[in-house]
């Protein structure tokens, strides 16, 4: 039996690789020509694959490592040398990927057996049976799923009850840091010959990629080996987890990471398993390293949101990728490609993505998506930008987050859009203080663009949104505005759109 290890499954600790010493890996380059992928994402992927190959060989595995333009070519090369071989693969989470690979293998006369993907904590069967029993209507509820997973797995549970007495400590997790607080320094990782040669290859092969190309001697931001990923996890548990809870929704000027874990890049390619990250966080509570509200909030992101996104995506594809229930039509404004805007919050967030292929969750949701949603950008245009720009972006996780959560293209993940005026950003960040736009103004010169866009968004999408129960309060405010106010709002929105299109917002 030969185990085919994909580039996002770089682990020898779980799955069928534990029962064989024959491994196939195919490094395909053509897929990355399709979009202008961030150079740091390509560097991370190809370097991690080559490091994993070498670590397997050092551990005695026989690894066939094929470099090819496409998976099709790679599979052909493999079966020419190994006719009729039987391959085993952990099910890839992105829609249709398993079927496509199966087809390629069978076309070359081989067989492919697909097995459960053990990089995740929960199984397809677990979600499907929960959804069948508990969920009614179109919208799945993350909080219900999360509690179910805790009950089933015993994570953060004691005698059948949640540890600490509450399922959720969100009320303690919405703070902004005091002035004297500074986040822990962000770890980086050193280059070696493999990374240097991948760096040269990526720079040469993908000259049109979007994002900053780091200098070849600059320390790496994202781990490319298991050892580096584990050292990042150690650092997260010891130095970041404690403040993760309270400050997870905050934004600060010139702070791109705050207390976020920065683990998604490593988790999503298998350098860490979700289970080990959760176990380490739970142990940190037991040893008193971090308080329950931080540990619970962090674990919820993984066994709640991350697993939830993967399953809802699986059950909602292929429709989810094309969903656009608000019939949005605008292209992504140029500021997403260059960060050239006077809006402090957007400029910061776009530059974070350009510099490192990363922005934290609140920047993704309440700045980058919120603006695009209310501006009227098609969910698909925004999804493509996230997909190419982020180091942790893979179809199964980007699509539900961007199309479902960020763009409200579909209501499978939420019954209400994550739309908000500038008030939210002002409350959760220090950006508005140094922004030339006035947060207190909705219309007129220098009014914060988020404000007019917000009211216009509610008015334009009234038919779809007014009926959804949780929007009632907002529509009470909509109803209070008179024709003169609406005319001023419309005129400000027209102005915002033309300034944005000209790159002058
Ligand atoms: P932390 O803030 O430290 O959180 C811990 C972990 O929780 C993350 O590493 C991640 O694995 C998990 N997590 C938290 N929220 C989610 C979520 N909604 N979905 C999946 N996992 C979650 N995450 C990706 O991994 N890839 C993406 O392409 C991606 N695109 C996103 C797009 C939008 C519009 C939004 C709103 C969210 C997106 N997320 C995505 C989810 C989340 O923002 C990132 O996982 C997180 O910011 C990664 O940084 P971190 O590792 O420092 O996370």
Per-residue pLDDT reduced to its tens digit, 287-338:
999 999 999 999 999 999 999 999 999 999 999 999 999 999 999 999 999 8
Query: 167 C-alpha to center of ligand 1: Å?
Result: 21
* 431 and 497 inside one domain: yes
Do 72 and 103 belong to one domain? yes
**Do 131 and 110 belong together in one domain?**
no
Burial readout 54-79 (b: 16 or more C-beta within 10 A, e: otherwise): ebbeeeebebbbbbbeebbbbbebbb
pLDDT higher than threshold 80 for residue 413: yes
Q: Give the span between the Cα atoms of 302 and 315, in whole angstroms.
A: 19
Q: Is the pLDDT of residue 341 over 90?
A: yes
| pLDDT above 70 coverage of the chain, percent | 99
Q: Per-residue pLDDT tens for 364-382?
A: 999 999 999 999 999 999 9
Share of the chain above pLDDT 90, in %: 92
In a domain, residue 438? The reply is yes
CA–CA distances in Å: residue 270 to residues 15, 329, 436, 478: 11, 37, 43, 47
Provide the pLDDT confidence category of residue 340 given band limits of 50, 70 and 90: confident
Residues 305 and 159 in one domain: yes
What is the reported pLDDT for 468?
77
* Number of the ligand 1 atom closest to the C-alpha atom of 268: 25
CB-defined site of ligand 1, < 6 Å: 260-264, 267-268, 301-302, 305-306, 309, 360-361, 364-365, 369, 386, 390, 392-393, 397-398, 401-402, 405-406
**ipTM of the modeled complex:** 0.99
- Note down the domain range covering 130: 124-186+221-314
Same-domain status, 104 and 249: no
Calculate how far, in angstroms, residue 469's C-alpha sits from the geometric centre of ligand 1. Answer: 27
Residue 259 CA: which ligand 1 atom is closest?
3
Domain boundary among 61, 95, 115: 115
264 and 140 share one domain:
yes
Which ligand 1 atom is nearest residue 236's CA?
A: 3
Residue 133: the pLDDT is 78
- What pLDDT is stored for residue 469 in this prediction? 65
CA of 406 from ligand 1 middle (Å) equals 12
Same domain, 111 and 128: no
**Phi, psi angles (nearest 5°) of residue 5:** -105, 120
SS3 content of the chain, % helix, strand, coil (to 5): 55, 10, 40
Q: Classify strands 157-158 and 161-162 as parallel, antiparallel or unpaired.
A: antiparallel
Mutate-to-test residue for ligand 1 from 259, 397, 405, 419, highest number of ligand atoms within 8 A of CB: 397
Write down the mean pLDDT value for the chain: 95
* Domain-embedded: residue 326: no
- The whole-number average pLDDT for the span 121-149 is 89
Tell me what pLDDT residue 372 has.
98
End-to-end CA, the chain: 58
Average pLDDT over residues 473-498: 95
Atom of ligand 1 nearest to the CA of 393: 28
Residue 34: pLDDT above 80? yes
Testing ligand 1's pocket by substitution, the residue of 239, 246, 294, 301 carrying the most ligand atoms inside 8 A of its CB is 301
Q: What is the pLDDT of residue 138?
A: 77
Question: Which residue, among 378, 403, 402, 375, has the nearest Cα to 460 in the 3D structure?
Answer: 375
Mean pLDDT of 388-392: 98
Same-domain status, 135 and 237: yes
Angle, in degrees to the nearest 10, between helices 449-460 and 472-480 = 100
CA pair distance 361, 419, nearest whole angstrom: 15
DSSP label at residue 176: -
- Average pLDDT over every residue of 203-225: 94
Q: How many residues does the chain have?
A: 505
Buried residues in 404-439 as b, exposed as e (16+ CB within 10 A): bbbbbbbbbbbeebebbbbebbbebbbbbeebebeb
Residue 424 has a pLDDT of: 95
Residue minimizing CA distance to atom 20 of ligand 1: 306
Residue 495: band (very low, low, confident or very high) from pLDDT cuts 50, 70, 90:
very high
Helix or strand (DSSP H, E) at 44 = helix 39-58
Mean pLDDT, range 24-36, rounded to an integer: 96
Q: Tell me the CA–centroid distance for residue 264 and ligand 1, in Å.
A: 6
- 293 within a domain of the structure (yes/no): yes
* pLDDT one-digit tens code per residue, 179-197: 899 999 999 999 999 999 9
Query: 128 and 100, same structural domain?
Result: no
Residue 166 in this model has a pLDDT that exceeds 80:
yes
443: in domain: yes
161 assigned to some structural domain: yes
Residue 305 has a pLDDT of 97
| Span 165-174, average pLDDT | 89
Number of domains in the chain: 3
The CATH number of whichever domain residue 456 belongs to comes to 1.10.579.10
Q: Are 94 and 394 spatial neighbours (Cβ–Cβ below 8 Å)?
A: yes
Q: For residues 236 and 230, give the distance between their C-alpha atoms in angstroms, rounded to a whole number.
A: 10
**Same domain assignment for residues 343 and 390:** yes
Please tell me whether residue 137 adopts helix, strand or coil conformation: coil
431-443 pLDDT, tens digit each:
999 999 999 999 9
Distance 60 CA to ligand 1 centre (A): 35
Rounded average pLDDT over 111-131 = 95
Of the residues 115, 137, 155, which one is the last residue of a structural domain?
Answer: 115
CA of 394 to the centre of ligand 1 (A): 11
* Helix, strand, or coil (residue 158): strand
* C-alpha of residue 396 to centroid of ligand 1, in Å: 12
- Examine the domain organization and report whether 299 and 339 are in the same domain: no
Q: Which of 57, 85, 115 is the last residue of a domain?
A: 115
Tokens 């779809």 belong to residue? 464
Regarding whether 445 and 384 lie in a shared domain, the answer is yes
Taking only the tens place, the pLDDT of each residue in 45-79 is 999 999 999 999 999 999 999 999 999 999 999 99
């Amino acid at each position: 039996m030969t185990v085919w290890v994909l580039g996002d499954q770089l682990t020898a600790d779980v799955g069928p690789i534990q029962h064989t010493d024959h491994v196939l890996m195919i490094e395909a380059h053509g897929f990355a020509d399709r979009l202008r992928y961030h150079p740091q994402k390509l560097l991370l992927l190809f370097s991690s694959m080559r490091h994993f190959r070498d670590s397997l060989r050092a551990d005695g595995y026989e690894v066939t490592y094929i470099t090819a333009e496409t998976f099709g070519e790679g599979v052909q090369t493999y079966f020419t040398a190994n006719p009729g071989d039987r391959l085993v693969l952990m099910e890839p989470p992105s829609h249709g990927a398993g079927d496509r690979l199966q087809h390629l293998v069978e076309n070359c006369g081989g067989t492919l057996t697909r097995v459960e993907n053990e990089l995740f904590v929960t199984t397809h069967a677990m979600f499907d049976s929960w959804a069948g029993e508990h969920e009614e209507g179109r919208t799945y509820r993350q909080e219900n799923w999360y509690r179910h997973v805790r009950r089933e797995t015993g994570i953060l549970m004691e005698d059948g009850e949640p540890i600490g007495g509450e399922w959720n400590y969100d009320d303690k997790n919405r703070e902004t840091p005091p002035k004297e607080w500074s986040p822990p320094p962000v770890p980086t990782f050193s280059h070696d010959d493999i990374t240097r040669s991948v760096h040269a290859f990526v720079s040469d092969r993908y000259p049109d990629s979007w994002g900053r190309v780091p200098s070849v001697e600059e320390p790496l931001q994202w781990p490319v080996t298991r050892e580096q990923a584990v050292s990042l996890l150690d650092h997260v548990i010891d130095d970041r987890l404690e403040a993760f809870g309270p400050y997870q929704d905050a934004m600060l000027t010139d702070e791109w990471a705050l207390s976020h874990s920065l683990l998604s890049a490593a988790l999503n390619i298998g350098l860490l398993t979700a289970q080990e990250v959760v176990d380490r966080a739970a142990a940190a509570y037991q040893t008193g390293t971090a308080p329950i509200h931080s540990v619970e909030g962090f674990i919820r992101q993984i066994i709640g949101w991350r697993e939830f996104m993967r399953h809802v995506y699986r059950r909602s594809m292929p429709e989810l990728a094309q969903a656009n229930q608000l019939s949005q039509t605008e292209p992504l404004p140029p500021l997403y490609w260059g960060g050239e805007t006077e809006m402090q919050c957007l400029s910061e967030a776009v530059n974070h993505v350009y510099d490192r292929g990363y922005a934290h969750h609140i920047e993704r949701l309440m700045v980058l998506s919120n603006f695009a949603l209310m501006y009227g950008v098609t969910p698909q245009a925004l999804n493509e930008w996230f997909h190419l720009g982020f180091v942790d972006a893979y179809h199964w996780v980007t699509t539900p987050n961007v199309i479902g959560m960020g763009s409200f293209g579909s209501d499978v993940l939420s019954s209400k859009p994550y739309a908000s005026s500038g008030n939210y950003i002002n409350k959760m960040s220090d950006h508005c203080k140094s922004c030339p736009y006035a947060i207190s103004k909705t219309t007129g010169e220098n009014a914060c663009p988020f404000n007019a866009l917000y009211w216009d968004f509610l008015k334009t999408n009234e038919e779809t949104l007014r009926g959804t129960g949780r929007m009632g309060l907002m529509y009470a405010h909509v109803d209070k505005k008179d024709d003169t106010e609406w005319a001023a709002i419309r005129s400000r929105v027209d102005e915002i759109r033309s300034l944005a299109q000209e790159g002058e917002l």
